[in-house]
Amino acid sequence: MANSLRGVLPIVPTPFRADGSVDLSSLGRLVEFAVGRGASGVVYPGVASEDVQLTTDERQEALETVVRVAGSRLPVLAGVNAGAPEEMVALARIAAETGVSGAMAMAIPAMGGETEAWFHKISDALNGGTIILQNLFAPRGADLNAAQMLDLARNVPAIRYVKEEGVPSGHKVSQLVGGADGILDGIIGGGGARYLFEELERGAIATMPAIELLELHVALLRAYGGHNRARAMEIYERTLPLLLVQAPFRMRMTKLILKHRGLIETDIVREKLPEMDAALQGLVIEFYEKAMSVLEMADA
């Protein structure tokens, strides 16, 4: 998969039925939506999929659904993150058996001083699959610095990309891009795309946000890649009110918009998050419709 991960690689959320079970039908619709709206690949499950709230069986069945619906049309990257490194190795083995293109794996505090050894085990479990190293701040992630990430990638050849989730992310993106030659195929922006424009300016080649703003993010990257910086900036500015709301409410906002669009049946989340009252929900939909209207404007 070298040099192939560019553009928008959305994290597919996990929809739930009214009884709280995983809604595989809605999950399939979300994958079709990603295919039809210009995603370069899909990621499942990630933090935005409420991955740690899923049982192993739920993760496997949902991932199988994503792979089956995507078919050969899009690469599927499996998130293998868990609270313990041995669980990550087991999930990587399951992912490989499912037929994914690669995996996203986070360096976690529980790996201690054995991070490299654990990533070798994850690589072996993937049986040749590409690894995207996800770097998240504590307490969930190990919050590696750029030199540590480059050393890890140098010593674990399966690591071909880094998804940097730092807040702020810019300086690490620059450091990673500057040191990536011969070690990494590219740097991917994270953090819900809140810092996407800066990440592009610093050399990121892709973004891996939640899925509800997919068309906006696709249009933004296409404009930027086509050297229409002003248009890319215009689209980015339209996303910012939504991304401010998304920061604390996360999947609640994602699922509110997806339900508004008729892509999922409920906006139920398992993650413990603050509630959105009716006033905020209405404002989010207003922000969303205004943001989407920018796509109807002729390119500058």
Detail the residues annotated as belonging to a binding site for pyruvate: 208
Q: d(Cα 78, Cα 269) in Å, to the nearest integer?
A: 20
User: Tokens 């592009």 — which residue?
Assistant: 200
CA 144 to chain centre: 18
Q: Tell me the binding residues.
A: 208
DSSP per-residue codes, 232-276:
HHHHHHHHHHHHHHHHHHTHHHHHHHHHHTTSSS-----S-----
Per the structure block, which two tokens stand in for 297? 């404007």
Per the structure block, which two tokens stand in for 110? 């529980």
Q: d(Cα 46, Cα 275) in Å, to the nearest integer?
A: 21
Q: d(Cα 49, Cα 11) in Å, to the nearest integer?
A: 7
Q: d(Cα 26, Cα 113) in Å, to the nearest integer?
A: 41
Say if residues 134 and 168 touch (Cβ distance below 8 Å): no
Q: What type of residue sits at position 234? A: E
Q: Which residues on adjacent β-strands are paired with residue 73?
A: none
* Eight-state DSSP code of residue 200: H
Per the structure block, which two tokens stand in for 56? 């192993």
